[in-house]
Amino acid sequence: MNDINKKRTGNLISIQDSLVKARFFDDVIMGETAEISVDGKFLQAEVLQIQPDPKNADAGIVEMQVFEDLTGAKIGDEVVFKGTPLSVLLGPGLLTSVWDGLQNPLYKLSEEDAYLKPGMNAPALDETVLWDFTPIVKVGDSVSGGDVIGTVPEGKVDHKILVPFKYGACKIESIIEKRSVNITQKVAVIVDELNNKHELQLAFRQPVKSPIPFRERAIPTKPISTGVRVIDLLAPVGYGGTVGNPGPFGAGKTVLQHSLCKYAVADIIIMAACGERAGEAVEVFKEFAELEDPTTGESLMKRMCIFGNTSSMPVAAREASVFIALTVGEYYRYQGKKVVLLADSTSRWAQALRERSGRQGDIPGPEAFPMDIPDQIKGMYQRAGEDLGTGGSLTFIGTVSPAGGNFQEPVTQATMDATGGFWGLSQDRADAKKYPAIDPLVYTTSVYDGFVSWKDRNKMLGTLNDANDIDQTISTIGLKKVPVSNYIQYQKGLTIDFCVMQQDAFEKNDACTRPERLEIINEAVQNLIEREINFEVGDMDDEQLKEQIKHKFDELRQWWREWNYSAINEEQIRHLPKAVEEFILQEEYAV
């Protein structure tokens, strides 16, 4: 066994961008972290590969990626190997935190300098905060990794203190009484079967690249109310599900992510801003703090934590940030919490792997991505899931930024293969400012028991499909040749699209639709689909009649959209199906 307490070192022999090589004489562990000393600063690195040294049979060469800018590094600079893989600190205080991709707290670092400089770091969780610890086990109890030894309230979240997952069967040798402690103080001592003693604190480190296990994994079935109508009606995502959300730039991925952040019903939302614009992450942690959590009514930030590894930050840390965020999600899932992880964007993550493999000189796969990128993407999404054993779930919604908006590129393809749901954003819909630009005809879902019945959903889809077909007919052979009955069907589809599928994320009353309201909308939609509408033909010719029909539907759409924005009380909301009914009967319906 390695004596990990012994100092093991190496010296740099090659430096290129964020990739370095070092010569070592002792031993190096694959995947362990290291610190490189450059101009008196210590830069974080991770071991990627170990090779023989062609110049020295007693030595070896280790290849590492460095998470910080290497300016000033020289041949011979010392490397100290840490013996532990890349890990994340788990414990109370995770919520409301804003970190960089390596879990350095950004607010804390800003006290030192407005700019992020190489070598800067600070404890991931505040060590001065006191937490009210209540033990739930007693001396002599048997415990093992993942068992709960006590709880602390973290805002409204009941944060369970777990035995670190690395421990097997142990016994509690001592545990403190109910009192306030910080995350560095000892709360318990456990003894393993070899009679080794281990001190436990409120927080512990967990490697990020190997998943925290499930107790009893299950297929996600219960849909999440996201507040976004097109999702909840047509393409719902279940607690513990996975969704890939690709779209060309400008198609509204960011606004959609922000909507999910604000309105998705969940205990905890983790945001991994991975290689994206800094401004968007800032908007989340500065503005969302003032918004209300849909379930508790508290500040939205109290249920969130954010990893802001934005596009100009070191690229190697981008890869780490997604794994770190996933591990935090798994930790809360293990405590029985419903967690939603939003990763924006998994394409940037894949590009980080591409940059690295390019520098390492690997033989490139399609579009120069590493050959195994589909497996890596699948492995990542597989960490999401529902756990019946704990009652928790981790839902993973990843955005994809396909080059050129082309869904055929490797990352989008691999994502489609890896996820249970798929929300494709359409450039055409975005160009027409039809938001959210999820194409009601291009998506998949693996939840069959959503907020409306499968039958109703299919009817809705059928009408949208019909409208789409008729639309194409109109643009190829002209309106005149389209029969009146088809034209009415087309107008019905347009109405469902305009008033239901489209939603204004910036209008207070329209931005979020809950299941109760959705049910009423569905009632109205089904009414509209099912019933025949009798227009007074009189002595109108075909063109006049169609004009008349369009005019009537225009009025309905205007009325309905207004309803979206303004119907607040029970009576106003209940009025929708009735109004549609009156429209069908061609009575005066506007109130």
Partner 1 sequence: MIRKEINKISEIGKALISVEGNPGVALNHVVELLEADSNQSLSFAKAINITEDTTRFQVFNGTTGLSTKTKIRMHEIPLTAGFSSKMLGRSFDGAGEVSDGGPEVIFEKQVSTRLDTLNPTVRNVPKQALWTGIPMIDVFNTLVKSQKIPIFAGPTEPYNRLLSQIAKGAQADVIIFAGIGLKFDEYQYFKEQLSQSGNIDKTIMFTHLAGDSQIKGLMLPDVALSVAREFGDQGKDVLVLLTDMTNWSNILRNVANYQDMIPSLQGYPGSLYSELAKRYEVAADIEGAGSITIIGATTLESLEDPVPDNTGYITEGQFFLENGKLKLARSLSRLKQGVNGKTRSDHRAIMTAMASLLADAEKAYEASEVGAANDAYSQKLLRYRTDFIENVEEPFGEPMELEAALNKCWAILKRHFDSTETGLSKKLIEEYWDKN
Is residue 71 close enough to count as binding partner 1 by CB under 8 A?
yes
Per CB under 8 A, which of residues 316..345 are in contact with partner 1?
345
Is residue 290 close enough to count as binding partner 1 by CB under 8 A?
no
Question: How far is 590 from 34, CA to CA, in rounded Å?
Answer: 70
Per CB under 8 A, which of residues 256..275 are in contact with partner 1?
275
Is residue 48 close enough to count as binding partner 1 by CB under 8 A?
no
Residue 270 CB, nearest approach to partner 1 (Å)? 16
Among 83, 220, 308, 440, binds partner 1 (CB under 8 A): 308
Is residue 313 close enough to count as binding partner 1 by CB under 8 A?
yes
Residue 550 CB, nearest approach to partner 1 (Å)? 7
Residue 142 CB, nearest approach to partner 1 (Å)? 44
Sign of the Cα pseudo-torsion (566, 570, 572, 577, in order) = positive
H/E/C letters for each residue in 125-164? CCCCCCEEEEECCCCCCEECCCCEEEEEEECCEEEEEECC
Options 158-166, 248-256, 452-460, 532-540: segment touching partner 1 (CB under 8 A)? 248-256
Is residue 564 close enough to count as binding partner 1 by CB under 8 A?
no
Q: For residue 514, give the amino acid letter.
A: R
The values of phi and psi at residue 320, to 5°, are -65, -40
Select 62 or 266, whichever has its Cβ closest to partner 1: 62
The residue written with tokens 């512990």 in the block is 204
Question: How far is 547 from 416, CA to CA, in rounded Å?
Answer: 43
Per CB under 8 A, which of residues 98..127 are in contact with partner 1?
98, 106-107, 109-110, 113-117
Is residue 474 close enough to count as binding partner 1 by CB under 8 A?
yes
Q: For residue 133, give the amino acid letter.
A: F
Residue 471 CB, nearest approach to partner 1 (Å)? 8
Select 175 or 400, whichever has its Cβ closest to partner 1: 400
Among 42, 498, 535, 589, binds partner 1 (CB under 8 A): 498
Q: Which two tokens stand for residue 26?
A: 């002792």
Among 36, 47, 70, 212, binds partner 1 (CB under 8 A): 70
Question: How far is 20 from 6, CA to CA, in rounded Å?
Answer: 23
Closest CA to 496 of 529, 474, 540, 530: 529
Element (H, E) at 173: strand 170-175
Is residue 7 close enough to count as binding partner 1 by CB under 8 A?
no
Among 48, 80, 122, 403, binds partner 1 (CB under 8 A): 403
Q: Which two tokens stand for residue 209?
A: 């690249």
Per CB under 8 A, which of residues 171..200 are in contact with partner 1?
none
Is residue 586 close enough to count as binding partner 1 by CB under 8 A?
no
Q: Which two tokens stand for residue 36?
A: 């490189």
Select 20 or 228, whichever has its Cβ closest to partner 1: 20
Is residue 476 close enough to count as binding partner 1 by CB under 8 A?
yes
Among 144, 295, 312, 453, binds partner 1 (CB under 8 A): 312
Select 229 or 457, whichever has its Cβ closest to partner 1: 229
Select 292 or 367, whichever has its Cβ closest to partner 1: 367
Cβ–Cβ < 8 Å for 577, 519? no
Select 52 or 250, whichever has its Cβ closest to partner 1: 250
Q: How many residues bind partner 1 (CB under 8 A)?
A: 86
Is residue 311 close enough to count as binding partner 1 by CB under 8 A?
yes
Element (H, E) at 375: helix 373-381
Closest CA to 234 of 439, 426, 440: 440
CA distances 564 to 104, 146, 338, 557, 575, Å, are 43, 46, 29, 10, 12
**What single-letter DSSP state applies at residue 446?**
S
Binding mask 148-167 for partner 1 (x = CB under 8 A): --------------------
Is residue 222 close enough to count as binding partner 1 by CB under 8 A?
no
Q: Per-residue b/e over 407-437, b at no fewer than 16 CB within 10 Å?
A: bebbbbbbbbebbbbbbbbbeebbeeebbbb
Is residue 591 close enough to count as binding partner 1 by CB under 8 A?
no
